[in-house]
Amino acid sequence: MSYKIPMGPYHPALEEPYKLDLICEGETVSDAKLHIGFNFRGIEHLAETRNYFQVIALMERVCGICSNIHTLTLCQAMEKLTGLTPPPRAQYIRIVIAELERLHSHVLWAGIAAKLMGFKTMFMTCFEIREQVMDVLQAISGNRVNYSMNRIGGVNRDIEDPLAILSMIEALESGMVKTIIPIFTTSTTARSRCAGIGVLTNEKAISLGVVGPVARASGVGQDLRRAAPYAAYDEMEFEVPVQTDGDVRARLLVRALEIMESCKILRQALTKMPPGELHTGDGKFNFITGTATSRVEAPRGEVMYSVSWREHSRNPSRVHVRTPTFVNMPAIRSMVTGARLADTPLIQASIDPCYSCTDR
Amino acid sequence: MTVLESIPEIPASSEQSLDPWTESGGVYWLNYSDLNVREVAKAMNAMRARFITITAYQENGSDALRLEYHWDIAGRLLGFTFPLAAKSIDSIYDLCEAVDWIEREVHEGFAVDFTGRVYEPLLLREGNTCGVNLREEVAK
């Protein structure tokens, strides 16, 4: 006999509200239905009532974890409509902030995954490492969450001593190589909770169009930093980690390897950072009538902004945000079908969902 | 109606003519009028393109809507525009599984009917009405 277990919208295993109705046969999940919308704030509509300065601050608040990525994507789209190109130093600073954000997002996720595995010590270790990244972001921007780094035509703040950040990167790499990666890959607890569960096959990943580490853990090697480079990514050397098992462990491994690649990118960006201006333009912008689109590889995958403007207007006429979690969440249904009920919190967490982004 | 036997390739070099494509705002747009969305979806499937999203726009000064569909091929973003006369368009859900949530979101936000599919509530709760974004209090 089948029965339904509602998980959420408020549940200890969920970081934010959403609802998963699990249809079970005994202890096995036979189907699931997802419900979102509990965080809906109407941000796309609010954007139409904000001018070109205010809209950047507004869109920074779409997401609490990858706030910088939203302003970066928005500013890149607005730069296409104003014809401005950020100077080289600004492009490098954008890379540094984007990769620091990826680091703290991935380490945060590793900590939450450890907590859901019942691995509290690892949760503490991950958060201790994440604090080092947050300290650097705070030292650069003055903020821990909304960094206000991006503006149309460049960045607001300089990184005065780029080489001073290198020691943090070395400490982070050391923590990953000596502690987090070995424990996640060799410990019996981690292996038994992650290997072979929540599988998303390569065919299903392609069919659902999933993005980011979820896609790369199912053998789909797409990464916009490589496929459609923005900022100065075409000057960086890095690998795109891909795993083929498609299970929770593969998603964990992809993110762990991406932390190492982010460290590699950061080291290059910090040591090669060119001197020069932080932004172009005089703060007054002439928008052309039209629509511009920008895409960026956020920690959770591809973010896309479509921004429409009418000439002489101070406000956008339309801002559409396509977030990675919006694309990845439908895959949870495939992942939990056939899984044990007790594994579902970890499986849904394995896509690193951001419900605020999804609902907007 | 333009019948799409295949989608013309986009020239690899920027020095070559893009015709019938044009590049604008970071998107390659196919300049065929009166395209059929299901034919475009079939052609995109044949080219193993990755579906990205649908964006709904309310046309300036009218109730008319247009939808822009985007696919990705090897890092290039392709765009196809479909004006909606009667707030209705064929669903491509049976051709492209990835379109499910965005069709449901556009349906709930702009009351667009994607014909040929069944909806379940996505952002709205039971009893809420579709067309949230078109209400007077949120329309500009």
What residues have CB less than 8 Å from A288, skipping those under 6 apart?
A81, A82, A83, A309, A311
A172 phi and psi angles, rounded to 5 deg? -65, -45
Decide if pLDDT at B139 tops 50. no
Percent of chain A with pLDDT over 70: 99
**Contact (Cβ atoms closer than 8 angstroms) between residue A212 and residue A331:** no
Question: Within 10 A of A238 (CB to CB), how many other CB atoms are there?
Answer: 18
Average pLDDT of chain A to the nearest whole number: 89
Q: Are strands B76-84 and A301-309 parallel, antiparallel or unpaired?
A: unpaired
Q: Using CA atoms, how far apart are residues B100 and B67, in angstroms rounded to an integer?
A: 15
Please give the DSSP secondary-structure letter assigned to residue B84: E
* Helices assigned H by DSSP within A176-240: 181-186, 188-194, 202-208, 212-216, 224-227
Closest CA to A346 of A223, A203, A184: A184
Residues in chain B within 8 Å Cβ distance of A37: 122-125
Q: Which of A80, A291, A359 sits opposite B123 (nearest CB)?
A: A359
Residues in chain B within 8 Å Cβ distance of A317: 60, 140
**Contact (Cβ atoms closer than 8 angstroms) between residue A235 and residue A249:** no
Which of A287, A306, A356 to mutate against chain B (most B CBs within 10 Å)? A306
Q: Using CA atoms, how far apart are residues A138 and B63, in angstroms rounded to an integer?
A: 46
**For chain A, how are helix, strand and coil distributed in percent, rounded to 5?**
50, 15, 35
**A329-342 mean pLDDT:** 91
Please give the DSSP secondary-structure letter assigned to residue A208: H
* DSSP calls for A288-317: PSEEEEEEEEETTEEEEEEEEE-TT-SS-S
Determine the pLDDT at residue B14: 62
Looking at A25-29, A42-46, A133-137, B22-26, which range is the least confident one?
B22-26
Contact B51 A209 (CB under 8 A): yes
What residues have CB less than 8 Å from A137, skipping those under 6 apart?
A97, A100, A101, A104, A143, A144, A147
Determine the pLDDT at residue B135: 60
**A225-248 mean pLDDT:** 93
**Contact (Cβ atoms closer than 8 angstroms) between residue A123 and residue A112:** yes
What residues have CB less than 8 Å from B122, skipping those under 6 apart?
A35, A36, A37, B101, B104, B105, B108
Contact B60 A81 (CB under 8 A): no
- By CB atoms closer than 10 A (0-12, 13-18, 19+), residue A286 is exposed
How close is the nearest chain A Cα to the Cα of B1, in Å?
25
A220: nearest CA in chain B? B50
Contact A293 B70 (CB under 8 A): yes
Q: How many residues does chain B have?
A: 140
Question: Within 10 A of A346 (CB to CB), how many other CB atoms are there?
Answer: 21
Between these two residues, A282 and B42, which has the higher pLDDT value? B42
List B113's β-bridge partners, or say none. B88
Q: Which amino acid makes up residue A239? A: E
Decide if pLDDT at B69 tops 90. yes
Map residue B55 onto helix, strand or coil.
Answer: strand
Which of B28, B123, B137 to mutate against chain A (most A CBs within 10 Å)? B123
Residues in chain A within 8 Å Cβ distance of B57: 308, 318
Q: Using CA atoms, how far apart are residues A211 and A252, in angstroms rounded to an integer?
A: 15
Residues in chain A within 8 Å Cβ distance of B56: 320
Tokens 């667009």 correspond to: B112
Decide if pLDDT at B132 tops 90. no
Map residue A99 onto helix, strand or coil.
Answer: helix
Interface membership of A224 toward B (CB under 8 Å): yes
B109: nearest CA in chain A? A42
pLDDT per residue as tens digits for the range A134-192: 988 998 998 888 898 999 999 999 998 888 888 888 887 888 788 878 887 788 877 88
Between these two residues, A74 and A48, which has the higher pLDDT value? A74
A36: nearest CA in chain B? B123
Map residue B127 onto helix, strand or coil.
Answer: coil
- By CB atoms closer than 10 A (0-12, 13-18, 19+), residue B19 is exposed
Interface membership of B60 toward A (CB under 8 Å): yes
How close is the nearest chain B Cα to the Cα of A276, in Å?
27
Decide if pLDDT at A207 tops 50. yes
Query: Which domains are assigned to chain B?
Result: 18-115 (3.30.460.80)
Question: Within 10 A of A7 (CB to CB), how many other CB atoms are there?
Answer: 20
Categorize the per-residue pLDDT at B140 as very low, low, confident or very high, splitting at 50, 70 and 90. very low
Residues in chain B within 8 Å Cβ distance of A49: 140
Determine the pLDDT at residue B137: 52
Determine the pLDDT at residue A41: 84
Contact B122 A295 (CB under 8 A): no
Q: Which of A222, A291, A322 sits opposite B25 (nearest CB)?
A: A291
Decide if pLDDT at A224 tops 90. yes
Q: Using CA atoms, how far apart are residues B61 and A152, in angstroms rounded to an integer?
A: 28
Cβ within 8 Å of A, B 101-140: 101-102, 120-125, 133, 138, 140
Q: Which two tokens stand for residue B119?
A: 């909806």
pLDDT per residue as tens digits for the range A262-299: 999 999 999 999 998 999 977 788 888 889 999 999 99
Residues in chain B within 8 Å Cβ distance of A320: 53, 55-56
The pTM for the full model equals 0.88
Q: H/E element holding A93?
A: helix A88-117
Range with the largest mean pLDDT of A35-49, B18-32, B94-108, B118-132: B94-108
Q: H/E element holding A264?
A: helix A248-272
Interface membership of B68 toward A (CB under 8 Å): yes
- H helices then E strands: how many in chain A? 16, 8
Residues in chain B within 8 Å Cβ distance of A306: 55, 68
Q: A232 vs A89, A93, A226, A292, A330, CA distance in Å? A: 9, 9, 11, 20, 32
Residues in chain B within 8 Å Cβ distance of A224: 75
Interface membership of B10 toward A (CB under 8 Å): no
**Contact (Cβ atoms closer than 8 angstroms) between residue B31 and residue B20:** yes
Contact A293 B26 (CB under 8 A): yes
pLDDT per residue as tens digits for the range A297-319: 999 999 999 999 888 888 898 89
**Contact (Cβ atoms closer than 8 angstroms) between residue A57 and residue A63:** no
B44 phi and psi angles, rounded to 5 deg? -65, -40
Could you tell me the end-to-end alpha-carbon distance of chain A, in angstroms, rounded to an integer? Answer: 38
Q: Which of B58, B97, B123 sits opposite A40 (nearest CB)?
A: B123
Determine the pLDDT at residue B13: 63
Q: Are strands B65-73 and B76-84 parallel, antiparallel or unpaired?
A: antiparallel
Question: Within 10 A of A152 (CB to CB), how many other CB atoms are there?
Answer: 23
